[in-house]
Copies of this chain bind each other. A is one copy, B any other.
Amino acid sequence: MDFLDEPFPDVGTYEDFHTIDWLREKSRDTDRHRKITSKSKESIWEFIKSLLDAWSGWLVMLLIGLLSGTLAGVIDLAVDWMTDLKEGVCLSALWYSHEQCCWTSNETTFADRDKCPQWQKWAELMTGYTEGAGVYLLNYFLYVLWALFFSFLAVSLVRVFAPYACGSGIPEIKTILSGFIIRGYLGKWTLLIKTVTLVLAVSSGLSLGKEGPLVHVACCCGNLFCSLFSKYSKNEGKRREVLSAAAAAGVSVAFGAPIGGVLFSLEEVSYYFPLKTLWRSFFAALVAAFTLRSINPFGNNRLVLFYVEYHTPWYMTTRLGKYPVLEVIAVTGITAVLAFPNPYTRRSTSELISELFNDCGALESSQLCDYINNPNMSRSVDDIPDRPAGPGVYSALWQLTLALVFKIVITIFTFGMKIPSGLFIPSMAVGAIAGRIVGIAVEQMAYHHHDWIIFKNWCRPGADCVTPGLYAMVGAAACLGGVTRMTVSLVVIMFELTGGLEYIVPLMAAAVTSKWVADAFGKEGIYEAHIQLNGYPYLDQDEFTHRTLATDVMRPRRNEPPLAVLTQDSTTVEDVETLIKDTDYNGFPVVVSHESERLIGFVQRRDLILNIKNARQKQDGVVSNSVVYFTEDAPQIPASNPQPLKLRRILNLSPFTVTDHTPMETVVDIFRKLGLRQCLVTRSGRLLGIITKKDVLRHMAQMMNQDPESIMFN
């Protein structure tokens, strides 16, 4: 009896921090599919099972959409409640946020809409007074205390239970989607802790956002549902198709932008994105947006539109990085103290962006809309001409300038702290502030100098020719585009966010220009930069233009010992075991003989170890000098001699080969497009060497004068 007919549970899986072989995964999936198809003709039950299998992809999408939409809704509601908890509490129902608490109130005046007797600030509840410096200070003190408590809780939970829950997670997801294994990064534990700490971190009022982390949360949901179907849980390639779609669902609920989500996944995150995944992403994003809409966290019937909240840090490491809890507490304190005096940094970033985007209608009470009205003109609300700015606008300008500096600096320092944090909103806020300042400046120039040539053609006196709000919107898009280098997805997200379909041309122009300008400083966006900092083995889409050949990159190099190979019928079990012990290669080429060096196939280290171990335990007669056969038939051997070990089953008979003369740009292209893990190099049919993905990445780093040792994982 051959014990090896049934594969072991672990054959064909990968180790942690290793790269998957896409071609192999695809091939395994096709095998599985064929088995199911041929079985489905046997019985009705098998037929139903095959149907279920065919539809499981859509089912997983449905589940991902439902769960990530629900989680996003719950997070939104919890953040609302906990943000308000820092200030006070609703006496009629403890679980009501400030806004919900006052909905039921009878105060219907617009200005008093957030004042109602049921809602009591902490100091009011404790002392009974509502005014005075003492009350103000007590409120302020309790506010900071709650903030520190929330952020302390968040950073402790992340530290103790799920270190992977920190950051936005997008660079790691990008790396995982490119075929890297990081076990636990998308696990249930990470999902739970990330959801809870995201609420805590955002509620603490820190300068960080929930949009990026929601992508990570959605991908965790995707991974969770993959485990329900062996089609996805047992195939790393198929799993990544699901994760690509989950990323789309994540952006869909973060911004209420389903199409933008699909495009974000396509342009920014995914590596392998066939049309089938496009359709499924589209479906998952649709379900997620619909679920969020049904939960309706913002009490209106549209999708989120401009209601996104809180901002998000860049990535960098400060010296405090070694003391993550201290770092978070310190940054929380500094943020609270510095942000308080300026009305534009005190409020939540989403409110700020919303105000900056707004045009000044007649009813607008904002300081930014303090224009001097011309009493001779009576016009409708929508048609207000350019007016001279009042003192409010000028003081707002100064405050905005200070806020701009503060935002840029604090964003750099909030960098990569060990709590869940996103990236979109702070860059949008910076861009929106700058845009609004420029907008007001141009508007006032146009008003005071409407005879200048540039204004003459498109401004009639008395008409509205400059809209500062539009400048803010374009500025936000440009800044976000510069940070992430998104183009199409950026514009779609912006107009799904603002509903401003008419401004598509200025938004597109901003996206293209900011990409050009940013590319002049360096080709990589924030996510690629982070991937490089972490040394993940990510093969980006940049073109490789150096004149090197496969022979320059392959191992063994000159002066190195020859390539470790197995022969098809003359290696013993002991030889193999020695080879495994002495080297740490992930696999070994199998050749006809050491003399001819003609390549037969490739065998994985992991498969070899498992099979030999298993054979030694269960198969009689397999000892150290048993010969390992990779040929189709092993010769008959007398029972007294050691029995041969037949391993053709684990031999990959179609290893990928290139010739030594192949230009490296072709090799890079092949690795990227086919998702190879390694590739063998031959010359006129003889095996010369091997190139792994890590070799390719190292070579590329070398060619760009970077440290090749920055590529840390395999």
A30 lies within 8 A of B290 (CB):
no
B286 lies within 8 A of A545 (CB):
no
A505 lies within 8 A of B275 (CB):
no
In the assembly, what is the distance between CA of A279 and CA of B523, in Å? Answer: 14
In the assembly, what is the distance between CA of A600 and CA of B660, in Å? Answer: 11
Most B-side CB within 10 Å, residue of A258, A655, A684, A686: A684
**Which of A81-89, A114-122, A413-421, A663-671 is found at the contact surface with chain B?**
A663-671
Contact pick for A286, options B37, B512, B600, CB 8 Å:
B512
In the assembly, what is the distance between CA of A663 and CA of B652, in Å? Answer: 11
A399 within 8 A of B: no
**Distance between A589 CB and nearest chain B CB, rounded to angstroms:** 12
B669 lies within 8 A of A662 (CB):
no
B684 lies within 8 A of A512 (CB):
no
Contact pick for A505, options B293, B491, B511, B685, CB 8 Å:
B293
Contacts of A515 in B (CB 8 A): 279
B543 lies within 8 A of A30 (CB):
yes
In the assembly, what is the distance between CA of A577 and CA of B289, in Å? Answer: 66
**Distance between A123 CB and nearest chain B CB, rounded to angstroms:** 43
Contact pick for A302, options B491, B502, B545, CB 8 Å:
B502
B599 lies within 8 A of A684 (CB):
yes
A33 lies within 8 A of B654 (CB):
no
A545 lies within 8 A of B669 (CB):
no
In the assembly, what is the distance between CA of A617 and CA of B338, in Å? Answer: 84
In the assembly, what is the distance between CA of A279 and CA of B486, in Å? Answer: 9
**Distance between A288 CB and nearest chain B CB, rounded to angstroms:** 11
Contact pick for A541, options B274, B283, B502, B670, CB 8 Å:
B274
Contact with B along A660-703 (1 / 0, CB 8 A): 01110110011001100000001011110000000000000000
A495 within 8 A of B: yes
In the assembly, what is the distance between CA of A531 and CA of B60, in Å? Answer: 33
For window 568-583 of A, CB contacts with B under 8 Å fall at none
Q: Known A262-B488, A545-B34, A666-B654; judge A505-B290 contact (CB<8 A).
A: yes
In the assembly, what is the distance between CA of A105 and CA of B141, in Å? Answer: 73
B278 lies within 8 A of A684 (CB):
no
For window 252-282 of A, CB contacts with B under 8 Å fall at 258-259, 262-263, 266-267, 274-276, 278-279, 282
**Distance between A525 CB and nearest chain B CB, rounded to angstroms:** 11
B258 lies within 8 A of A504 (CB):
yes
Contacts of A236 in B (CB 8 A): none
A508 lies within 8 A of B665 (CB):
no
Contact-size category for A: 35 or more
A487 lies within 8 A of B267 (CB):
no
B259 lies within 8 A of A33 (CB):
no
Contacts of A444 in B (CB 8 A): none
A665 lies within 8 A of B278 (CB):
no
Q: Known A283-B512, A488-B282, A509-B286; judge A659-B666 contact (CB<8 A).
A: no
Q: Known A26-B665, A543-B30; judge A488-B259 contact (CB<8 A).
A: yes
Tell me the nearest residue of chain B to A516, going by C-beta: B58
A499 within 8 A of B: yes
Contact pick for A545, options B23, B30, B487, B504, CB 8 Å:
B30
Contact with B along A342-381 (1 / 0, CB 8 A): 0000000000000000000000000000000000000000
A322 within 8 A of B: no
- Copies assembled: 2
Contacts of A684 in B (CB 8 A): 592, 598-600, 685
A467 within 8 A of B: no
A658 within 8 A of B: yes
**Distance between A174 CB and nearest chain B CB, rounded to angstroms:** 13
A487 lies within 8 A of B30 (CB):
no
Contact pick for A663, options B259, B511, B654, B662, CB 8 Å:
B654
A614 within 8 A of B: no
A327 within 8 A of B: no
**Distance between A629 CB and nearest chain B CB, rounded to angstroms:** 15
**Distance between A374 CB and nearest chain B CB, rounded to angstroms:** 26
A492 within 8 A of B: yes
A104 within 8 A of B: no
**Distance between A558 CB and nearest chain B CB, rounded to angstroms:** 19
A599 lies within 8 A of B685 (CB):
yes
Contacts of A596 in B (CB 8 A): 685
Contacts of A275 in B (CB 8 A): 267, 541
**Distance between A619 CB and nearest chain B CB, rounded to angstroms:** 26
In the assembly, what is the distance between CA of A333 and CA of B546, in Å? Answer: 63
Contacts of A686 in B (CB 8 A): 598, 685
Tell me the nearest residue of chain B to A547, going by C-beta: B34
A657 within 8 A of B: yes
B33 lies within 8 A of A545 (CB):
yes
Contacts of A495 in B (CB 8 A): 501
Contacts of A508 in B (CB 8 A): 258, 282, 286
Contacts of A289 in B (CB 8 A): 504-505
A443 within 8 A of B: no
**Distance between A469 CB and nearest chain B CB, rounded to angstroms:** 18
Contacts of A657 in B (CB 8 A): 657, 659
In the assembly, what is the distance between CA of A682 and CA of B685, in Å? Answer: 9
**Distance between A219 CB and nearest chain B CB, rounded to angstroms:** 20
Contact pick for A487, options B34, B279, B293, B682, CB 8 Å:
B279
B30 lies within 8 A of A665 (CB):
yes
Tell me the nearest residue of chain B to A515, going by C-beta: B279
B655 lies within 8 A of A659 (CB):
yes
Contacts of A673 in B (CB 8 A): 673-674
For window 611-653 of A, CB contacts with B under 8 Å fall at 653
Given A26-B665, A278-B487, A669-B674, 18 more A-B residue pairs with CB atoms under 8 Å apart are: A30-B545, A30-B663, A258-B505, A259-B488, A259-B492, A262-B488, A263-B263, A267-B278, A274-B541, A279-B512, A289-B505, A290-B505, A496-B504, A501-B501, A654-B658, A654-B661, A673-B674, A682-B685
18 sampled A-B residue pairs with Cβ under 8 A? A23-B666, A23-B669, A26-B665, A26-B666, A27-B666, A30-B544, A258-B508, A274-B541, A276-B541, A282-B508, A286-B512, A302-B502, A599-B685, A654-B658, A654-B659, A654-B661, A654-B666, A685-B686
